[in-house]
Amino acid sequence: HPFRQAQFLVSANRLAQLPADSGAEVAFAGRSNAGKSSALNAICDQQGLARTSKTPGRTQLLNVFPVGDPARRLVDLPGYGYAKVPEAMRLHWRGVIDEYLRTRASLKGLVLVMDSRHPLKEFDRHMLEFGAASGRACHCLLTKADKLSRSEGLRTLAAVRKELAAFAPDATAQLFSSLARTGLDEARARVAHWLGI
Ligand code: GTP
Ligand code: MG
């Protein structure tokens, strides 16, 4: 699969440091510690590509990973709403992420990563509503599915899909586990489609 070619390009602290806003980009968004960086690594089959950590707040910049071609990129976003980061930094990141999501023309899709044990928290709903309102496609990864039994996983997926139908009807959802490597093909297919590969 093409994601094996993904490489780190840049950590941007401001939008001006991002590559030119052309081609296609897919961003991984979600609450702190949800498993965004781990999901990106699993999709790319490269363990150390994006930094992961047990400590929430690990990803602090917009990290950009071209997939083979500089015009096709994955972006690992910092987690939203981590209370132990200093207030000024939290506000800075909120501003940068909001502006990125609002203005980035090459952003073709959002992968919304949620811990399958705690899906659809306030931030997630905000992101899905934003996606629906702005016409950004959203795909939800219900990750850490290895923590749920098979039946709990299926029940969670059905409940999330039902809720999505009510307020973000174009959004899609799947079970995922970076650890158990489940749901990879489905996630890759979605992201590849957005990137045009
Ligand atoms: P921030 O960048 O800090 O917002 O975090 P993140 O959303 O990028 O999460 P990250 O990928 O760093 O993972 C956070 C923690 O969850 C780490 O301890 C991971 O090992 C763990 N984790 C991630 N994915 C999975 C998974 O599928 N299953 C299990 N059991 N643990 C996971
Ligand atoms: Mg991260």
Work out the number of other CB atoms within 10 angstroms of the CB of residue 160.
Answer: 21
Centroid of ligand 1 to alpha carbon of 30 (angstroms): 11
Pairing of strands 172-175, 69-76: unpaired
Domain with 90, as residue range(s), is 2-195
For residue 88, the one-letter residue type is A
Residue 99: how many CA atoms within 13 Å on its side-chain side?
A: 12
For residue 196, the one-letter residue type is G
> Per the structure, how many domains does the chain have?
1
pLDDT digits (tens, 9 = 90+) for 168-195: 999 999 999 999 999 999 999 999 999 9
Q: Which atom of ligand 1 is nearest to the CA of 51?
A: 12
- Which residues lie near ion ligand 2 (Cβ < 5 Å)? 36-37, 58-59
pLDDT digits (tens, 9 = 90+) for 106-128: 999 999 999 999 999 998 998 99
**Cα–Cα distance between 184 and 192 in angstroms, integer?**
12
Whether 156 lines ligand 1, by a CB cut-off of 6 Å, is no
Round the average pLDDT of the chain to a whole number and report it: 93
- The predicted model scores a pTM of 0.95
**Cα–Cα distance between 148 and 152 in angstroms, integer?**
6
CATH of the domain at 32: 3.40.50.300
Residue pair 163/128 in contact (Cβ under 8 Å)? The answer is no
Question: Radius of gyration of the chain from Cα atoms?
Answer: 15
